[in-house]
Structure 1
Amino acid sequence: MSVLEVTVGVPIERKMERFGTALQAAMEGGAIMPHFGVGFANMAQFGDVFTPKRWELIKALKAAGPLSIYALAKRLGRHYRNVHKDVSALMEWMVIEKDASGHIYVPWDEIDVRLPLTTAA
């Protein structure tokens, strides 16, 4: 299963610890579990990217499979320009990808959004 982990408010130090652990394992010849993730400093930044319309777009695209932006806009009943803007933003954050034929798709089986309510001291 492919999972995109989206974190909000996780300090960079914690992310660097994860990287350090993976680097150490690689240097010792150990197995490394792939990790795909993006992080946001706060909920406002997260909300700017993951709007309700974009969640709707992600769900529809995952259900339909690879589509052109035009076909996706028709399926959603939205204007092409707005869907194109949303797709571009989601591609920047690795949520959507484009295949060799130029169709867009969601490569993830799951998007795991994490918002820690406490910070480590």
Structure 2
Amino acid sequence: MTTLKVKIESLEQTMATAADAMKAAASQTVPVTEFSLSFPSWDALHKVLTPKRLEIVKTMTGQGALTKREVARRVGRDFKAVHADIDTLVKAGVIDTVQDGVMFPYERIHFEFEIESAA
């Protein structure tokens, strides 16, 4: 099962995680089944993964390639708004553009982050 792990972490943490993943991939013949997407803050995460965009992702999960128009139909929203949301998700690396439209290439999303006190 392929998983997209969404994290809140600093650039330094992201780079260290990427370096560890490259080392592990180089030493193993087992295919990678977990991919990560990092955001520098809670606010940055929520700018990309709004509730309506998460609904798009959920609707696309396990469906293969879909046209933007079909995604809009499935979520019951205006095409123009869904088109803009899909463009944001593509730019953020959450979904992929493919020949037949767009696709969420994972079977699930796992959110991993901690919230600390502001003081």
Same fold (TM over 0.5): yes
* 1:49-88 equivalences in 2 (<5 Å): 49-62=48-61, 64-88=63-87
Paired with 1:20 and 1:95, the residues of 2 have a C-alpha distance of 21
Structure 1 portions without partners, runs of 5+:
none
Could you tell me which residue of structure 2 aligns to residue 106 of structure 1?
104
Note closer, same or farther for the CA distance 1:117–1:75 as it changes in structure 2 (3 Å cut).
closer
Q: Tell me the number of residue pairs that the alignment of Structure 1 and Structure 2 aligns.
A: 114
Displacement of 1:64: 4.2
CA drift at 1:113: 1.2
Secondary structure (helix, strand or coil) at the match of 1:113 reads strand
What is the distance in 1 between the residues matched to 2:109 and 2:4?
5
User: Per-residue deviation at 1:60?
Assistant: 1.2
After TM superposition, which residue ranges in structure 1, 4 or more long, deviate above 3 angstroms?
19-26, 32-35
Could you tell me how far apart the structure 1 residues matched to 2:76 and 2:20 are?
Answer: 46
TM-score (norm 2): 0.78
Read off the aligned partner of 2:102 and give its amino acid letter: I
3-state SS of 2:105 partner? coil
Gaps in structure 2 of 5+ consecutive residues: none
Sequence identity percentage: 27
1:25, distance to aligned residue in structure 2 (A): 5.4
RMSD: 2.3
